[in-house]
Structure 1
Amino acid sequence: MSNVPSDPAPTARSTSPVLVTGVAGFIGFHVARRLLERGDAVVGVDNFSSYYDPALKKARLAQLENHPRFQFRLTDLADADATAAVFREAAPRRVVHLAAQPGVRHSLTEPQPYAQTNVVAFLNVLEACRHGKVDHLVYASSSSVYGSNRKVPFSERDNVDHPVSLYAATKKANELMAHSYAHLYGLPATGLRFFTVYGPWGRPDMAVYIFTDAIARGLPINVSNGGRVWRDFTFIDDVVEGVVRILDRPAQPDPAWDALAPDPATSSAPHRIYNIGNNHPEELNGLIGMIEQAVGRTATRTDVPLPPGDVLETAADISDLARDTGFAPRTPLVDGVNRFVEWYRDFHGPDTGGKV
């Protein structure tokens, strides 16, 4: 445990809007909705990437559009001029950057979008935050940065120089880029390493959605390594709670940071890294059993090898986040799975033959 003092008390919320990028995405939608519910104004940005069917993204956005404190901007953040224009018009003091090209496996076959969306677009956001004198940038990193590490639980103080996918490498690059802007320009920035987020309105390329959809429709599921794979599944409501708590606590320089023994989680600049996870890894076989129970059907399984770029286990050490913000995940996996399946049935209707 670091000797870093706890973060200061939450700062008073500004009357200027919070800018949420990737607002039609899974986490971005839920974060924006939570901010609106607590009284913030939100300007949401998205480009409706076709990585998965934009119909789901538009359905999420439709849940926000009638809110009087919500505005939407259709913008490709890889366009520097368009990004700068959004920041000038919205004048945000706080930014939650969740727009990204996701997907470990997709990065193996389609690498180019990861450079444009995760690196070029992030640079444009950093530049806009710098020139807009933003008070706090909270940005999405990923548990994938831990790569080939086998020491668990994963700590923010672990070395993460061995990514096993291009996606992971771009997220590590985001952390380095944000730190450089914190150091050079005093931009307070906090990176959040998310661990296998799931829940209502989730992404159709994630295991909980894939398995639920296939089991509900009587289709086979591919199960890696005989199901002997562990993930720190984290329910979306818990993730959002962590994001909002961090947003209210701008990163601070660590006065005890030692250049002779550098702590990767903190810095002499206003930059910080936190894990957001459930702190309770679950075996894939257990997840499948919970989905079978919730759906009321037995899965037809096809055993497949662990795909390249995947890891056997993820587990989050969340002690720093708990210490600094009081964060504690509250949703057991079985409860979260039941809530997801309930949403899935409501969203798709009684005929589950159609798929988003």
Structure 2
Amino acid sequence: MTSQTPITPTADQIRRAPKVLLHDHLDGGLRPGTIIDIARETGYTQLPETEPDKLGGWFREAADSGSLERYLETFAHTCAVMQTRDALVRVAAECAEDLAEDGVVYAEVRYAPEQHLEAGLSLEEVVEAVNEGFRQGERTARAAGRRIRVGALLTAMRHAARALEIAELANRYRDHGVAGFDIAGAEAGYPPTRHLDAFEYLKRENNHFTIHAGEGFGLPSIWQALQWCGADRLGHGVRIIDDIKVEDDGTVQLGRLAAYVRDKRIPLELCPTSNLQTGAAASYAEHPIGLLRRLHFRATVNTDNRLMSGTSMSREFELLTETFGYTLDDLQWFTVNAMKSAFIPFDERLAMINDVIKPGYAELKSEWLFRQTATTSESAPEGD
């Protein structure tokens, strides 16, 4: 038995494994108890449930309902309680704490500043409150013996007209906690090309951005995000599978767009559970991540909306391990992919890979080998 032995991880090993998260929405990851607390403090009376367990269940059921209206209603409630400085600080701090407790060592968490202005905050005050919360959460995690670094992605809404303003905001705070820019919202009818001025500005400023594409619409959305807008990463990008053909004999043919995405190592921010909820995949077994992993796309695993999907990075890895038989080596591969794709300087990414991620997985493998060796020794027959 050697260190090359494939190791199927346990739930505990998955939880303790260092993980990297690139696609997580701040307004999609609140603790139900926090929503109830802030609603009480701010006088928000429209919550469907007022007990944490029941409210958490309501969010998951609404997200699973297949109704777009009910799904969007979930975010109406979370955004409603994220309108004050104190609320934003608390939500961001708890986000960092929750991710660290789940073994996430690096995360980029996105949110749309324009959705948090109803109580009179300015865009700058929103960004500064969220940044303060992330730093507070990092300190709390560190005091508990956990390591995490969180960067913010500022999101502009596709249906609105503030993309350039938000891009400029992201650029002003790029050295103060903001890692990059994103656009989100309904893909159909709102192509990324509506916001070319924002993307051209970011490229002139040598700044990073990702685009939600290839989730609800398809290949044209991916093509526009890459070729018209110049996205560094694809938010979801799961519909790239539409440009891949698997023949009856098992041979695989990549279309030109799929080949471009693979050959250029364009990161795909895949979110398996969320993709099932939105209909981008029918089941975990049919999720394109299995094929994309085998074809060596730059696939990463993400949570999207932890509250609505009732998920975490550990749960996503557990489900993929159960479905595809992934080993610790596979999970390390996804994690290194994500860290390579992060919007921080190369030397810092490399340090995270070499000093945190690889040693963390090596330790888990060594533990497993030690237990196997001990078990073998205990069961060996005694000598004469």
TM-score, normalised via structure 1 length? 0.33
Q: Which has the higher helix share?
A: 2
TM-score, normalised via structure 2 length? 0.32
